[in-house]
Structure formats: structure tokens, C-alpha cells
Amino acid sequence: MTNPMRERYFEDYRVGESVEFGDHLVTEREIIDFATAYDPQPFHVDPAAAARTHFGGLIASGWLTGSILMRMLVDHFISPVASMGSPGIDELRWLSPVRPGDRLRARVTVLAARRSESKPDRGLLQALQEVLNQNGEVVMSMRSWGIYKIRPA
């Protein structure tokens, strides 16, 4: 990225550009607390029960992994001066379990960019967002769109 995050507009994101960022250590407590509130399946909330499943131990809810990714995107990729939200996700994949002690980071690749035909003050960006663990393994991937303001004249 040529401009600092807080100054990026639609024009500053380049198709094909890929960036990596973030560092999040996943803890057992975080996994259990999140899942207790939002996804209380045994392999997310009970280490003993999780050990008896095909996972062989406690794993994070995919929604927790997605939430960790979202925080990293807000901190390192999405421009607070230009972001206008998202019209949605085209594809979401949880590829490998996330376990306590995993250290996660994000990789974002800009796939497409197009100016809005009906609203000339904005453009749409399609990106591939990937969550990688400490071994470089992609544990989650998502293709989604973001709406960004065009740089003011």
C-alpha cells in the first residue's frame, strides 16, 4: 500500500496486491468464552468432550476465527476514512481447525476493483482474505466485497 491506512481511498488499492499483517494468539479461555456465548457445541466449550470427538481436542468456532480476522482487517487494512461497509461475502471456508495456542495472521489479496456506475462517489473492491496459522497453513478463507469512497477532488 502506498498510502497509510488512515488515508487510503478506493484508488489506493491495487488489483493483485497482497499484504500480510496481524498477530493473534488464540487462547483456550477465548475459545470457550466465545463459543459459550455464540456457538456452544461440545468441541468448542468442553475440553474433555472435545477430546472424544473426531477433532481430538478443543477447537475454535469458525465464527471466532472470522471475528479475529475482522479485527485484523479493521486494524490493518480497511480505511476508516473511505470504508462504506460491505455488500456481502461470496465464499467462506473453514479449512483447518484453530486450536488453543495457535498464532494467527491475515493475508489479503485484492482480486477486483470497479467504480460504481450508479454512485460516482464510490467503488467496489473484491478481496480474498485468508487466515494463516503459525505454520503458514491457511485455516480460513473468504472472498468478499467492500465499498470504498473515491478520493475527494
C-alpha 145/C-alpha 89 separation (Å) is 7
1 has a pLDDT exceeding 60: no
Mean pLDDT score, 45-51: 98
Per-domain residue ranges of the chain? 5-149
129 has a pLDDT exceeding 90: yes
The reported pLDDT for the residue numbered 5 is 73
Mean pLDDT score, 93-120: 97
* CA–CA distances in Å: residue 135 to residues 22, 23, 102: 15, 13, 9
Q: Backbone dihedral region of 4: left (phi > 0), alpha (psi from -120 to 50 degrees) or beta?
A: beta
* Degrees to nearest 5, angle at CA 77 with 75 and 78: 85
* Degrees to nearest 5, angle at CA 129 with 128 and 135: 120
Mean pLDDT score, 100-107: 98
C-alpha 51/C-alpha 28 separation (Å) is 14
64 has a pLDDT exceeding 70: yes
Q: Read off the C-alpha cell for 26.
A: 488464540
C-alpha 53/C-alpha 42 separation (Å) is 9
The reported pLDDT for the residue numbered 2 is 62
Q: May I ask the CATH architecture of the domain 5-149?
A: Roll (3.10)
Mean pLDDT score, 131-152: 97
Mean pLDDT score, 39-52: 98
pLDDT tens profile 65-82? 999 999 999 999 999 999
